[in-house]
Amino acid sequence: MSLKNRNLVTIDDLSNGEIEAVFSLTDEMSELMDKQSAVCRGKIMASLFFEPSTRTRLSFEAAMHRLGGSVITAVDGGTTSLAKGESLADMARVIGSYADIIVIRHPWEGAAKIFADYAGVPVINAGDGGHEHPTQTLCDLYTLLKERQTIEGLNIALFGDLENGRTIHSLTYALARFGANIGFPSNAGRELPEYVKRKLTVEYRGQFKKYKDLPPAIQKRLFPLDAVYITPSSPHQLAMMPEININIEIKLKAMKAGVDALYVNRRQLERLSSIAEGEGLKEDYPVIDKKFLKGKEYKEALVMHPLPRVDELAYELDDDPKSMYFKQAARGVPIRMALLTLLLGEKEISIPAKEDLSVPKRDYPLYRHDFGFIDHNSKCVSQLDTEKRYIKPEFKIVSKEPLTLSCVYCEHEIHPQYIASSDPHHEKSLDSRKYHSANTYWVRNIKPENLIIFDTEDSAKENGFKPSYYAGASRDRNDPGKVSKEQ
Amino acid sequence: MSLKNRNLVTIDDLSNGEIEAVFSLTDEMSELMDKQSAVCRGKIMASLFFEPSTRTRLSFEAAMHRLGGSVITAVDGGTTSLAKGESLADMARVIGSYADIIVIRHPWEGAAKIFADYAGVPVINAGDGGHEHPTQTLCDLYTLLKERQTIEGLNIALFGDLENGRTIHSLTYALARFGANIGFPSNAGRELPEYVKRKLTVEYRGQFKKYKDLPPAIQKRLFPLDAVYITPSSPHQLAMMPEININIEIKLKAMKAGVDALYVNRRQLERLSSIAEGEGLKEDYPVIDKKFLKGKEYKEALVMHPLPRVDELAYELDDDPKSMYFKQAARGVPIRMALLTLLLGEKEISIPAKEDLSVPKRDYPLYRHDFGFIDHNSKCVSQLDTEKRYIKPEFKIVSKEPLTLSCVYCEHEIHPQYIASSDPHHEKSLDSRKYHSANTYWVRNIKPENLIIFDTEDSAKENGFKPSYYAGASRDRNDPGKVSKEQ
Amino acid sequence: MSLKNRNLVTIDDLSNGEIEAVFSLTDEMSELMDKQSAVCRGKIMASLFFEPSTRTRLSFEAAMHRLGGSVITAVDGGTTSLAKGESLADMARVIGSYADIIVIRHPWEGAAKIFADYAGVPVINAGDGGHEHPTQTLCDLYTLLKERQTIEGLNIALFGDLENGRTIHSLTYALARFGANIGFPSNAGRELPEYVKRKLTVEYRGQFKKYKDLPPAIQKRLFPLDAVYITPSSPHQLAMMPEININIEIKLKAMKAGVDALYVNRRQLERLSSIAEGEGLKEDYPVIDKKFLKGKEYKEALVMHPLPRVDELAYELDDDPKSMYFKQAARGVPIRMALLTLLLGEKEISIPAKEDLSVPKRDYPLYRHDFGFIDHNSKCVSQLDTEKRYIKPEFKIVSKEPLTLSCVYCEHEIHPQYIASSDPHHEKSLDSRKYHSANTYWVRNIKPENLIIFDTEDSAKENGFKPSYYAGASRDRNDPGKVSKEQ
Q: What is the pLDDT of residues C83-132, one digit of tens each?
A: 346 789 999 999 999 999 999 999 889 999 999 999 999 999 999 988 89
Interface with C, mutate which of B86, B93, B388, B390 (most C CBs under 10 A): B86
Phi, psi of A94 (to 5 degrees): -70, -50
- B235 versus A285: the higher-pLDDT residue is A285
Q: Per-residue pLDDT for C366 more than 80?
A: yes
Q: What pLDDT, on the 0 to 100 scale, is given for residue B241?
A: 23
Bridge partner list, B128: B106
Q: How many CB atoms lie within 10 A of CB B290?
A: 10
Q: If you count residue pairs, one on B and one on C, with CB atoms under 8 Å apart, how many are there?
A: 84
Q: How far is B72 from chain C (nearest CA, A)?
A: 6
For chain B, the average pLDDT equals 78
Q: Which of C80, C81, C99 sits opposite A62 (nearest CB)?
A: C99
The band of C233, judged by pLDDT with boundaries at 50, 70 and 90, is: low
Q: Which amino acid is at C8?
A: L
Pairing of strands B181-185, B101-106: unpaired
Q: What CA dihedral angle connects B429, B433, B437 and B442, to 10 degrees?
A: 20
Q: What CA dihedral angle connects A313, A316, A320 and A324, to 10 degrees?
A: 20
Interface with C, mutate which of B90, B243, B392 (most C CBs under 10 A): B90
Q: What pLDDT, on the 0 to 100 scale, is given for residue B260?
A: 31
Least confident piece of the model among A272-281, B165-174, B309-318:
A272-281
The highest-confidence range among A121-130, B213-222, B281-290, C470-479, by mean pLDDT, is A121-130
The highest-confidence range among B470-474, C52-56, C115-119, C414-418, by mean pLDDT, is C115-119
- A208 versus B434: the higher-pLDDT residue is B434
Q: How far is B182 from chain A (nearest CA, A)?
A: 27
Cα separation of A303 and B360, whole Å?
A: 73
Least confident piece of the model among A57-61, A228-232, B8-12, B59-63:
A228-232
Interface with C, mutate which of B39, B71, B72, B100 (most C CBs under 10 A): B72
Q: What pLDDT, on the 0 to 100 scale, is given for residue B157?
A: 85
Q: What is the DSSP letter of C179?
A: T
Q: If you count residue pairs, one on A and one on C, with CB atoms under 8 Å apart, how many are there?
A: 84
For chain C, the average pLDDT equals 78
Whether residues A239 and C93 touch (CB distance < 8 A) is answered with no
Q: Per-residue pLDDT for B407 more than 90?
A: yes
Q: What pLDDT, on the 0 to 100 scale, is given for residue C142?
A: 97
Pairing of strands A207-208, A259-264: antiparallel
Mean pLDDT of B192-198: 86
Query: pLDDT by residue (tens digit) across B327-338?
Result: 999 999 999 999
Cα angle, residue A121 at apex, residues A118 and A126 outer, rounded to 5°: 85
Interface residue A72 vs chain C (CB under 8 A): no
Cα separation of B196 and B171, whole Å?
A: 11
Tell me the chain C residues in contact with residue A234 when contact means C-beta distances shorter than 8 Å: 84
Q: What pLDDT, on the 0 to 100 scale, is given for residue C481?
A: 43
Whether residues A42 and B333 touch (CB distance < 8 A) is answered with no
The highest-confidence range among A293-307, B126-140, C269-283, C289-303, by mean pLDDT, is B126-140
Mean pLDDT of C451-479: 76
Tell me the chain B residues in contact with residue C55 when contact means C-beta distances shorter than 8 Å: 94
Give yes or no for a contact between C281 and C259, defined as CB atoms under 8 angstroms apart.
no
Helix (H) or strand (E) holding A140: helix A134-148
Q: What pLDDT, on the 0 to 100 scale, is given for residue B160?
A: 76
Tell me the ipTM for this assembly. 0.84
Give yes or no for a contact between B151 and B145, defined as CB atoms under 8 angstroms apart.
yes
Q: Which of B36, B315, B326 sits opposite A389 (nearest CB)?
A: B315
Chains with 3+ CB–CB pairs under 8 A to A are B, C
Q: Per-residue pLDDT for B194 more than 60?
A: yes
Interface with A, mutate which of B55, B246, B305 (most A CBs under 10 A): B55
Query: Which residues lie closer than 8 Å to C431 by C-beta, 6 or more apart?
Result: C424, C468
Mean pLDDT of C164-181: 86
Cα separation of C138 and C177, whole Å?
A: 13
Whether residues C309 and B90 touch (CB distance < 8 A) is answered with yes
- A370 versus C480: the higher-pLDDT residue is A370
Interface of B with C in 30-59 (CB under 8 A): 41-44, 46
Q: What pLDDT, on the 0 to 100 scale, is given for residue A442?
A: 78
Least confident piece of the model among B237-251, B388-402, C167-181:
B237-251
Mean pLDDT by 10 residues, chain A (487 residues): 94 93 95 82 94 88 96 72 68 96 94 97 94 94 93 84 81 89 69 85 79 75 75 43 22 26 32 32 65 82 86 90 94 97 93 59 83 78 87 90 91 90 64 82 84 88 86 52 39
Tell me the chain C residues in contact with residue B93 when contact means C-beta distances shorter than 8 Å: 326, 329
Give yes or no for a contact between A25 and A341, defined as CB atoms under 8 angstroms apart.
yes
Cα separation of C69 and C337, whole Å?
A: 10
Cα separation of B472 and C5, whole Å?
A: 79
Whether residues A80 and B243 touch (CB distance < 8 A) is answered with no
Tell me the chain B residues in contact with residue A74 when contact means C-beta distances shorter than 8 Å: 54, 57-58, 240
Task: Tell me the pTM.
Answer: 0.87
Q: What pLDDT, on the 0 to 100 scale, is given for residue A81?
A: 41
Pairing of strands A451-454, B466-467: unpaired
Q: How far is B24 from chain C (nearest CA, A)?
A: 27
The band of B242, judged by pLDDT with boundaries at 50, 70 and 90, is: very low
Interface residue C397 vs chain B (CB under 8 A): no
Rounded to the nearest angstrom, the gap between the alpha carbon of residue A301 and the centroid of all alpha carbons in its chain is 24
- A472 versus B339: the higher-pLDDT residue is B339
Cα angle, residue A248 at apex, residues A245 and A250 outer, rounded to 5°: 135
Q: How far is C34 from chain B (nearest CA, A)?
A: 7
Interface of C with B in 205-264 (CB under 8 A): 234, 236, 238-243
Q: Which of A36, A62, A71 sits opposite C98 (nearest CB)?
A: A62
3-class SS at A91? Answer: helix
Whether residues B309 and A97 touch (CB distance < 8 A) is answered with no
Give yes or no for a contact between A162 and A231, defined as CB atoms under 8 angstroms apart.
yes
Query: pLDDT by residue (tens digit) across B88-138?
Result: 999 999 999 999 999 999 988 999 999 999 999 999 999 998 889 999 999
Q: What pLDDT, on the 0 to 100 scale, is given for residue C215?
A: 77
- B203 versus A261: the higher-pLDDT residue is B203
